[in-house]
Amino acid sequence: MSGLESATKAAKTIVLFLTQRSGKAKATKNSNEAEYRAIFDNLVSDLLVVLFWPEWPAASLLLGIICKFMVSTVFSMLPKSYMYRTLARSRHLTT
């Protein structure tokens, strides 16, 4: 396993851990979920601050994984009919 693969695996583990602990609903159910949401929010804020600092090269890796995870989560919540219409529309625009 290369250095980038192990860093990606570690980043995915961190993102998955924090998102699982922070709950899926908008409203927090208990104080633990609120604490993990605050940790996740602060992590994203801090990563955005250090994104272009040479001392923090993994910031872009973590932010990329967070964005991919969030987009995939949103798409998994959409009804399939909406996804098919969106796909058909995007194919129509590209041809």
Give me the domain span that covers residue 8: 3-94
Question: Is 15 exposed, middle or buried, given 0-12, 13-18 or 19+ CB atoms closer than 10 A?
Answer: buried
Q: What is the pLDDT of residue 73?
A: 82
Asked whether residue 59 carries a pLDDT value surpassing 70, the answer given is: yes
Q: Exposure pattern of 20-46 as b/e (b: 16+ CB <10 Å)?
A: eebbeeeeeeeeebeebbeebeebbee
Number of domains in the chain: 1
Q: What is the pLDDT of residue 5?
A: 92
Both tokens of 31, joined, read 């104080």
Asked whether residue 43 carries a pLDDT value surpassing 90, the answer given is: yes
